[in-house]
């Protein structure tokens, strides 16, 4: 049976029970009937339903203000949820203070009691909302108007309406839990779908954390991955009041719930971050935090971390869903790693690790499209064939690897090193002038001559291994790929003609 239909039948049954048990006037019967219909109509929106209850009680029973609060799951605090007759600003101030249950008990201990209605003074009525001997919350009304009805009638109606209100709140909570469960299933499906469609982690992970945050109503979500012995915040959503770079630096062996999870491989549920010594972040606001390990083949490869506003706002059900999501993220990271390896193999020279010829055109076309300044350094090894013929191809391969190491040492991270042919290499250098590129070329040239390994091979062959280079720049030497490659090839040819071991522009 549909849950909403089941709950509706239950409310109607409760109404029938009242009519049989209590001798009700037609007016009272009509009130209970109308109230039950209103409650059922708003059952899918708990805050909306509570506001409707407060408005109806205030209007029908003649209160100046009506406020409704609910107890937290562990029955430690009363949290004010809705109110009518109180200005928005005043109520927002009241909502910030949660009433300890002991304080509430003290307040009603000495109050006059009629049925389930307590009267601490002539101007205030406090009514616990009870269902199956369990207090769900409290309804409080102030300044009852005697012209609307007598106090006796008001108390009688409250005692009649309270079981309906309690049942409706219980039902609304059940609906809310079911919706929340469906939402969790939905986000798991959504993340799984993303993983099937998107291979690149730089695109996938930001979408994953945003989906988790928005769909599950979390305050903050982050994925942390290890890098050079530290946990780095790879992607995050939320954290409006946190300096993420500063927070990242604080995460380490002595601090950080996420670091503890990373080291132990066990998830952590922190009910209130203000009481957690390991917590890194803003401690002035009550929040809950869950951190779960992301594992691959039994090894922790990262951490999924979420925070939600309010102490005790996260529970075991959140933890279980996050464990499932962490396993999906693990699959995504594995898939992405494999994809990146395959993609890298397709564009990388297997011998030297430099990019292959395929990347050259793509990189230059990209820079031309962006209309950026860049230079091209074309390197050709002098006398390499003699080394290959004399020492063999295995030694020749070692020389090429050593040359790549030397070039890599002199160029910047943003530069692209490409193996163009057998002993030819190209370096594409964004935002570098021709003069700067020539200086880099001179350093590479000298580095090759001075390299210990290469000098030992040269001694065996009897001739030095040097490098001739050509340099061109965009836009000075051309604005098209063909023009630039022709001119840099001409410059290299001139370097050879001038006696080799030279850098020519």
Per the CB < 8 A criterion, the answer to whether 46 and 173 are in contact is yes
Instruction: Return the CATH number of 3-177, one of 3.40.630.30, 3.30.70.100, 3.40.50.920, 3.30.450.40.
Output: 3.30.450.40
pLDDT category at 39 given cuts 50, 70, 90 is: low
- The per-residue pLDDT for range 104-134, each reduced to its tens digit, is 888 888 788 887 888 888 888 898 988 877 8
Q: Average pLDDT over the chain, rounded to whole?
A: 86
Q: Phi and psi of 315, rounded to 5°?
A: -140, -170
Find the helix or strand (DSSP H, E) in which 503 lies: strand 503-504
Q: What percent of the chain has pLDDT over 70?
A: 93
Tell me the fold of 198-345: Beta-Lactamase (3.30.450)
Domain boundaries, the chain: 3-177, 198-345, 357-504
Q: At what angle do helices 393-410 and 452-461 cross, to 10 degrees?
A: 140
The DSSP code sequence of 190-217 is: HHHHHHHH---HHHHHHHHHHHHHHHTT
Per the CB < 8 A criterion, the answer to whether 288 and 218 are in contact is no
Position 457 scores a pLDDT of 93
In angstroms, the CA 222 to CA 220 distance is 7
The DSSP code sequence of 61-121 is: HT-SEEEEEEE-TTS-EEEEEEEESS-HHHHHHHHTSPEEHHHHHHHHHTSEEETTEEEEE
- The per-residue pLDDT for range 294-345, each reduced to its tens digit, is 998 889 999 999 999 888 889 888 998 899 889 888 888 887 777 777 777 8
Per the CB < 8 A criterion, the answer to whether 288 and 274 are in contact is no
pLDDT category at 429 given cuts 50, 70, 90 is: very high
Question: Cβ neighbours of residue 329 under 8 Å, at least 6 residues apart?
Answer: 191, 205, 208, 223, 294, 302, 304
Q: Which of 46-55, 307-316, 423-432 has the highest mean pLDDT?
A: 423-432
In angstroms, the CA 246 to CA 226 distance is 17
| More confidently predicted of 449 and 15 | 449
Question: Cβ neighbours of residue 296 under 8 Å, at least 6 residues apart?
Answer: 330, 333, 334
pLDDT category at 3 given cuts 50, 70, 90 is: very low
Q: What is the DSSP letter of 463?
A: S
Q: Do domains 3-177 and 198-345 have the same CATH topology?
A: yes
- The per-residue pLDDT for range 165-188, each reduced to its tens digit, is 888 888 777 777 777 776 777 777
Q: What is the mean pLDDT of residues 141-146?
A: 86
Position 6 scores a pLDDT of 45
Per the CB < 8 A criterion, the answer to whether 355 and 401 are in contact is no
Q: Is 143 left (phi over 0), alpha (psi -120 to 50) or beta?
A: left
Tally the residues of the chain: 505
Q: What is the mean pLDDT of residues 99-103?
A: 86
Position 278 scores a pLDDT of 92
HEC profile for 243-298?
CHHHHHHHCECCECHHHHHHHHCCCEEECCHHHCCCCCCCCCCCEEEEEEEEEECC
Give 235's strand partners: 223
- The per-residue pLDDT for range 188-208, each reduced to its tens digit, is 777 777 777 777 788 888 988
Tell me the fold of 357-504: Alpha-Beta Plaits (3.30.70)
Position 476 scores a pLDDT of 92
pTM over 0.85: no
Per the CB < 8 A criterion, the answer to whether 251 and 291 are in contact is no
Position 435 scores a pLDDT of 95
Q: At what angle do helices 201-215 and 151-197 cross, to 10 degrees?
A: 170
In angstroms, the CA 241 to CA 120 distance is 42
Helix, strand, coil percent values for the chain (each to nearest 5): 50, 25, 25
Q: Which two tokens stand for residue 185?
A: 């299933």
């Amino acid at each position: 049976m549909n849950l909403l239909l089941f709950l509706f039948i239950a409310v109607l049954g409760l109404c029938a029970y009242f009519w049989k048990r209590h001798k009700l006037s037609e007016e009272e019967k009509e009130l209970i009937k109308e109230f039950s219909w209103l409650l059922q109509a708003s059952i899918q929106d708990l805050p909306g339903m509570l506001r409707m209850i407060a408005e109806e009680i205030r209007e029908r029973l003649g209160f100046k203000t009506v406020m409704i609060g609910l107890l937290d799951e562990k029955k430690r605090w009363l949290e004010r949820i809705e109110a009518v007759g109180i200005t928005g600003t005043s109520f927002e101030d009241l909502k910030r203070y949660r009433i300890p249950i002991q304080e509430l008990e003290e307040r009603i201990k000495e109050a006059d009691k009629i049925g389930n209605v307590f009267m601490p003074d002539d101007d205030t009525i406090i009514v616990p909302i009870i269902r199956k001997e369990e207090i769900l919350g409290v309804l409080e009304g102030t300044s009852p108007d005697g012209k609307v009805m007598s106090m006796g009638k008001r108390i009688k109606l409250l005692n009649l309406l309270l079981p309906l209100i309690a049942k409706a709140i219980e039902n609304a909570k059940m609906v809310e839990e079911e919706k929340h469960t469906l939402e969790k299933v939905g986000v798991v499906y959504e993340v799984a779908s993303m993983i099937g469609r998107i291979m690149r982690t730089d695109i996938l992970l930001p979408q994953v954390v945003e989906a988790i945050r928005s769909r599950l109503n979390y305050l903050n979500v982050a994925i942390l991955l290890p890098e050079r012995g530290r946990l780095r915040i790879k992607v995050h959503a939320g954290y409006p009041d946190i300096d993420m770079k500063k927070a990242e630096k604080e995460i380490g062996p002595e601090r950080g719930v996420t670091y503890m999870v990373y080291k132990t491989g066990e998830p952590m549920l922190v009910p209130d971050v203000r009481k957690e010594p390991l917590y890194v972040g803003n401690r002035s606001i009550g929040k809950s935090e869950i951190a779960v390990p992301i594992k691959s083949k039994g090894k922790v490869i990262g951490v999924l971390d979420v925070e939600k506003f309010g102490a005790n706002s996260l529970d075991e059900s959140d933890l279980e869903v996050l464990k499932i999501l962490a396993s999906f993220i693990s699959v995504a990271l594995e898939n992405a790693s494999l994809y990146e390896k395959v993609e890298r193999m397709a564009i990388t020279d297997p011998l030297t690790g430099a990019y292959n010829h395929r990347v050259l055109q793509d990189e230059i076309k990209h820079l031309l499209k962006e209309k950026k300044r860049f230079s091209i350094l074309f390197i050709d090894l002098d006398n390499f064939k003699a080394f290959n013929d004399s020492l063999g191809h295995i030694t020749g391969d070692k020389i090429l690897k050593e040359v790549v190491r030397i070039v890599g040492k002199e160029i910047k991270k943003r530069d692209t090193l490409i193996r163009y042919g057998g002993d030819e290499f190209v370096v594409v250098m964004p935002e570098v002038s021709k003069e700067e590129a020539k200086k880099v070329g001179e350093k590479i040239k000298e580095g090759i001559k001075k390299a210990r390994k290469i000098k030992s091979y040269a001694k065996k062959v009897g001739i030095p291994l040097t490098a001739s280079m050509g340099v061109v720049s965009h836009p000075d030497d051309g604005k098209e790929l063909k023009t630039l490659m022709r001119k840099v090839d001409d410059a290299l040819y001139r370097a050879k003609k001038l006696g080799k071991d030279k850098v020519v522009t």
